[in-house]
């Protein structure tokens, strides 16, 4: 299992996304987003190379929902 280290920008962005969801979605939808994020973080932790790779940015992209993705080096 690999440690997941959030960059300062990633932390801020996640909080902003959560705040947006809090203002615009139901509690059920927010919980679903958080649960999905946590599950994907576990998958990334177990296998960082699991998701789509981009040669251009040398990162792996994990889509949480269509407009929100996680990127790993």
* pLDDT digits 0-9 by tens, 12-65: 999 999 999 999 999 999 999 999 999 999 999 999 999 999 999 999 999 999
Q: Is residue 1 situated within a structural domain? A: no
Which pLDDT score is estimated for 10? 94
pLDDT of residue 46: 96
Query: How far apart are alpha carbons 13 and 55 in whole angstroms?
Result: 24
Residue 46 lies in a domain: yes
Domain that holds residue 52: 8-72
Q: Which residue has the higher pLDDT, 63 or 73?
A: 63
* Residue 56, domain member (yes or no): yes
Q: Do the domain assignments include residue 3?
A: no
0.75 exceeded by pTM: yes
Measure CA 27 to chain center. Answer: 19
Name the domain count of the chain.
1
Residue 14 placed within a domain: yes
Residue 2 inside a domain? The answer is no
Contact 33, 40 (CB under 8 A): no
pLDDT of residue 73: 86
State residue 22's pLDDT score: 96
């Amino acid at each position: 299992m690999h440690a997941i280290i959030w960059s300062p920008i990633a932390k801020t962005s996640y909080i902003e996304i959560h705040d947006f969801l809090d203002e615009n979605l139901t509690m059920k939808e927010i919980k679903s987003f958080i649960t999905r994020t946590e599950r994907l973080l576990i998958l990334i932790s177990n296998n960082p190379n699991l998701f789509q790779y981009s040669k251009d940015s040398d990162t792996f992209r994990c889509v949480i929902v269509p407009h929100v993705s996680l990127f790993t080096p």
